[in-house]
Structure 1
């Protein structure tokens, strides 16, 4: 197997899966770890063309215990897309495993600044604990300067340019919509924006603990933020809500302002000026913040319509052409339609809708004398407990 793959690589017939198979085979045969790492790094050079591929390649490196190289790859991905949460989350685990102080400092501060996914509180808590342990270890070792640097980095990571909190009483529902200076809009439809805004909570009545909405922009553009308070439904006590505006939270000079917002059928507009915003460019639009336009209704079904990667199409074409080349002369045969295209391999996504929650089905049977009705009820409890990732190489 190793000889066959090496021959294909030497004759410019390389494909990404060849490096995977080669690394696995070498590991099974007990080859030296430096040789396996060299194969893995060659695979990264071959496939890590964008940030998602870099993140995948870094996760693949950990499979072969190449944690140091994986951590460096996560750091490179974070440089290209600073607002992407995966490099920091995965990087913190590797840095703690390697006991890399600089890696822990980078990953933990990145989590506190850029990670606003679901259950972000637990990730922030892990990051704070990692920084606290790092600071304590420096103090025990007598490295006071490094401990102060960790403390300063934590304080800077906890700074927030703008924070909005909308609260009300009653069983009604209000929406908080924020128009950011560069044209992006943060709302319940787009909870994450390219301008750095995130809607942390979309609340509704009647429970008082749920009657609040919270918007946060850790690094925002300087300029004017237009806040819309929209009435949705229900009864709002006194037809009023309270809006708390906090600028530069965590800095030396925070600015806190509270105001009462009268509620009406029309949106209430409040303009907030942010002079010292720390963001200077937009990030890439988060995928989970946009309306899912990749699901198109066709014949009452939903079919995934992922855009085709042009690089992948070109690689497939080159692969086919290379396999059609003349073995003796090395001449490449043009790719044409017909029987030459038979045998192509592809993967068709199969989408299954799994309803989550409680469903109840019932049937009624009437007796012949119409005096009794027999009811048959069948409740079903469905819950998605976990999601497993897989690949076509190791299903």
Structure 2
């Protein structure tokens, strides 16, 4: 029996192929309940619900899709769900199902809201990457564009792959439902020249809600890097933070273990391992009870070589100015050669976006409680244009 979300998703696909659409929709809903952060069950469920003309299934799937964030190349999936939701809402109102329409409207308002969005824009022929550390310890980057904490890196834009708009090139980090806490971002220039050596960073919190706030700041890239951080309050992800932090730590531990195992050679004794040296080492650790035979290795103690060991190394990085001086005295003790070496060390500047004191705020103000209805305020194009400069993302 299928118990994992991936197994249920595969089962639903097979049921759909055999014409059991109603059963497939039920299985997709089970998969979504086990893995609500997966967009696949909602996307597959919407297609089946439309085939069955199941209005309840359409409501469930559209709310699920609109609560997700999709990469730029899959934005048509999100927009299709947006249009389908508008049609379903109009159908409910046409049938005078006001109470059901009101509940659906509230669910859509909550689905399209975004707890936090980081927008990085720049001018010039260059590529800039964004890496975000979330409160649970998970990292959202190009190597891991979708995290278990809900964050998604939308697109990787550079001057070679995209056309420069009026405000330059942009990259986004979007977290629909995030943990409350501190979010830290690393902005790094990969190649090219950024105009003025600065990027524009805009932080949106509780976007498309009545608590929406936006702050913008020009951040200088010192040594091609800059660090930003901000606090998110009232995050909507209510899963225990300790469990997510533990899961992230376990994932990192397993990845490290797999890397170590991958570097080990086969079980046959490699030529670079000296059996005599291994026997001598064993004798030194065995309280005088040697292996005998002049250092022969026991047959039930196989020797594996080529493995790489890892141990944490704590390094103190001083901040400020200090100097080392080395002195050398000549052989006749008549001269002393002094070699002073000054050091200048500084911690990278951290740009903090503070919504309480307003430091660093350049006065964008809130976006107001737009919600789902605001997306259609001036038609499809006008509603989405109220997002981020001509498009929702």
Once the two structures are TM-superposed, the CA of residue 171 in structure 1 deviates from its matched residue by: 0.8
Once the two structures are TM-superposed, the CA of residue 63 in structure 1 deviates from its matched residue by: 2.1
* Whole-Å separation in 1 of the counterparts to 2:19 and 2:173: 40
Contact 1:131 1:150 in 2 (8 A): no
Kindly report which structure 2 residues correspond to 1:311-390, keeping only aligned pairs within 5 A, or say none: none
Residues 258-301 of structure 1: CA deviation (Å, up to 9, x unaligned): 0010012153111110011111334988x9xxx9x89x89xxxx
Contact 1:240 1:262 in 2 (8 A): yes
Kindly report which structure 2 residues correspond to 1:1-395, keeping only aligned pairs within 5 A, or say none: 47-117=1-71, 119-205=73-159, 207-209=163-165, 211-265=169-223, 267-281=225-239, 282=244
Taking a change above 3 Å as real, the CA distance of residues 139 and 84 of structure 1, as seen in their structure-2 partners, is same
Contact 1:174 1:229 in 2 (8 A): yes
* Whole-Å separation in 2 of the counterparts to 1:118 and 1:65: 32
* Whole-Å separation in 1 of the counterparts to 2:146 and 2:102: 33
Once the two structures are TM-superposed, the CA of residue 60 in structure 1 deviates from its matched residue by: 1.0
> Where do 5+ consecutive residues of structure 1 fail to align?
1-46, 298-395
> Where do 5+ consecutive residues of structure 2 fail to align?
264-393
TM-score (norm 2): 0.59
* Whole-Å separation in 2 of the counterparts to 1:135 and 1:257: 33
SS in 2 for 1:208: coil
Residue range with higher mean Cα deviation, 67-76 or 143-152: 143-152
* Whole-Å separation in 2 of the counterparts to 1:64 and 1:203: 42
* Whole-Å separation in 2 of the counterparts to 1:115 and 1:239: 30
Taking a change above 3 Å as real, the CA distance of residues 117 and 53 of structure 1, as seen in their structure-2 partners, is farther
* Whole-Å separation in 2 of the counterparts to 1:118 and 1:237: 25
SS in 1 for 2:230: strand
Once the two structures are TM-superposed, the CA of residue 50 in structure 1 deviates from its matched residue by: 1.4
Residue range with higher mean Cα deviation, 216-225 or 95-104: 95-104
Q: Name the count of aligned residue pairs.
A: 248
* Whole-Å separation in 2 of the counterparts to 1:164 and 1:118: 15
Contact 1:171 1:236 in 2 (8 A): yes
Contact 2:71 2:155 in 1 (8 A): no
SS in 2 for 1:75: helix
Residues 136-183 of structure 1: CA deviation (Å, up to 9, x unaligned): 111211112222222222111100000011011111222111111110
